Chains A and B, each alone.
Chain A
């Protein structure tokens, strides 16, 4: 079955700098890759997703890139702000699946 590995487990960056979180997946048939943000004590919320027919997607300060050949995808956050501090989860699934597989999460801290 699908396996999703996420790195790093913790990340600390200076406010204003960029942050990059990486995930690899094992099932080459996976075709949908979302990213969820979970603030402390809150529920996970979808922040951006990408399908396998595109290589990159941007939404203001966040972007996701996908390399199907290498089976990895990354979340990029530019000009980081204090409100970006949270745990971020990547995930992968395919159209024929009934469930999605999550990575183990990255705790991002923004230093003032």
Chain B
């Protein structure tokens, strides 16, 4: 039981490049979330999903896209990377409704230069 697995752990992008952050969970959780955390700051919700085929925007969705074709996977797509997207990205899944008992992945540290 690996929990929530994120790849890659580190990535450096050039301005304008695109990439996909991968997230997979093996706990059969319906609820999944993407957060970003800027240095010394709190957690900001980017997108979330309440089940396969259903996604919705969080607080800071601009510049990102998601898809949820299976219960296990919830990839986050960055299009046309900008320096403002330099951050640590955490994927999480929830045991219950409302984001209860979140299990976080180990994070992806992204730098856009």
A contacts, CB < 8 Å to B: 32, 34, 36, 42-46, 49, 89, 91, 93-100, 102-105
Grouping DSSP codes into helix (H, G, I), strand (E, B) and loop, the A interface class, with mixed when no group exceeds half, is: loop
- Using a Cβ–Cβ cut-off of 8 Å, how many residues does chain B contribute to the interface with A? 22
Q: How far is the CB of B2 from chain A (nearest CB, A)?
A: 13
A99 touches B102 (CB 8 A): no
Q: CB within 8 A of B97: which of A43, A95, A105?
A: A95
B43 touches A99 (CB 8 A): no
Considering the complex, give the chain A residue whose CB is closest to the CB of B50.
Answer: A98
A100 touches B90 (CB 8 A): no
B contacts, CB < 8 Å to A: 31, 33, 41-43, 45, 48, 50, 56, 58, 90, 94, 97-102, 104-107
CB-defined contacts of B56 to chain A, threshold 8 Å: 98
Query: What 7 A-B pairs come out closest when comparing CB atoms?
Result: A100-B99, A93-B98, A43-B104, A97-B98, A104-B42, A105-B42, A102-B43
B98 touches A43 (CB 8 A): no
Q: CB within 8 A of A96: which of B41, B48, B98?
A: B98
A100 touches B104 (CB 8 A): no
B105 touches A43 (CB 8 A): yes
CB-defined contacts of B48 to chain A, threshold 8 Å: 98-99
Q: CB within 8 A of B106: which of A36, A43, A46, A98?
A: A43
Considering the complex, give the chain A residue whose CB is closest to the CB of B6.
Answer: A43
Other contacts beyond A44-B90, A98-B98: 8, CB < 8 A: A32-B100, A34-B100, A42-B106, A44-B104, A89-B42, A97-B99, A98-B48, A100-B94
Q: CB within 8 A of A93: which of B43, B58, B90, B99?
A: B99
Considering the complex, give the chain A residue whose CB is closest to the CB of B107.
Answer: A43
